[in-house]
Amino acid sequence: MTTLDAFSYGVPAESDFGYSQAIRSGELIHVSGQVSFDDAGEFLHPGDFAAQLERTYANMDKILDHYGATRRQIVSQTLYLVNLHRNAAATMAGNLRYFGDHRPASTVLGVAELTMPGQVVEISFVVDTKLPA
């Protein structure tokens, strides 16, 4: 029988919306869309794509750390971007910095808007903890 291991930051949005930041099922960790928020759940850097992307990657690392996983174990990601064409180059550069030579499956979607006013990026991903760290 598979047991579930859910992870939450304890921020209001989790209880308001009814979700976990991540949930582990067997060897896989499914991670909800990460955004630019601080430890208290306050949204940071409205409208600033580069700053939001950097903070979103930092939040991704917090989840990986919680599960003892690494970026090299991320097997897929989905990026949601407002103003896709304007932010494409920054997205590519940020992705290469974050992953180095690791190449997870990746889908990038342009969207009209995201949940928070001024939010321009969100990233969800899947981790396979059976892979070498």
Segment 94-120 shows an average pLDDT of 97
Please give the Cα distance from 23 to 44 (Å, whole number).
24
For 7-60, how does the pLDDT look when each residue is reduced to its tens digit (9 = 90+)? 998 888 888 999 999 999 999 999 999 999 998 889 999 999 999 999 999 999
Query: CATH second-level architecture of 4-128?
Result: 2-Layer Sandwich (3.30)
Domain ranges of the chain: 4-128
For 111-131, how does the pLDDT look when each residue is reduced to its tens digit (9 = 90+)? 999 999 999 999 999 999 999
For 51-89, how does the pLDDT look when each residue is reduced to its tens digit (9 = 90+)? 999 999 999 999 999 999 999 999 999 999 999 999 999
Please give the Cα distance from 24 to 30 (Å, whole number).
6
Please give the Cα distance from 20 to 9 (Å, whole number).
8
Distance in angstroms between the alpha carbons of the first and the last residue of the chain: 25
Run of H or E residues at 9:
none
Position of tokens 């932010």? 87
Tokens of 72: 């090299």
Please give the Cα distance from 80 to 121 (Å, whole number).
6
